[in-house]
Structure 1
């Protein structure tokens, strides 16, 4: 599988480490009234979708960047690749 890194171009997936669901970028607010329930869901509950899914990948054998890869879990086709920092900043706006 080839991951088209936004800064480095096409790279083999063996250079990366899969680290789970990309929703983990958005950590719950610790001061919220329902913080305990939100953190329980954040730490323990995961979806296992069939089809397009946003995932975190770490470029361990390269520039050590974090990526959000949108991948079809049925076909392994990569639909989109973004720098995780850009995804996190966009949510903060």
Structure 2
């Protein structure tokens, strides 16, 4: 059983969670062409490295962030979204 540590609820079975994908930078205001907008929405980067993703603990509906290594699928750390906002 794989565990994921929820910042609010502690370690839980990963089946209790839902991933919402990577945190994206703010929207570029110059995305006016349909092709540019489509590329922004639907083209995922296929790269190795560390990514910060949105996750949700389904039973409590708590959203948080997780740093995950894309090559090994290891979750490095989980933290409240306010910590990311404080660093920006």
Q: Structure 2 length normalisation: TM-score?
A: 0.72
Where in structure 1 are there 5+ consecutive unaligned residues?
Answer: none
Cα offset for 1:90?
2.9
Indicate the structure with greater strand content.
2
Matched residue, 1:65? 62
**Does 1:20 pair with 2:16?**
no
SS at match of 2:32: helix
Count of residues in Structure 1 that have an aligned counterpart in Structure 2: 85
| Aligned partner of 2:48 among 39, 47, 50 | 50
Flag the structure with higher helix content. Answer: 1
Return the alpha-carbon distance in structure 1 between the equivalents of residues 66 and 12 of structure 2: 13
- TM-score in terms of structure 1 length: 0.69
Q: Residue 86 of structure 2 corresponds to which residue in structure 1? A: 90
1:77 is matched with: 74
Gaps of 5+ in 2: none
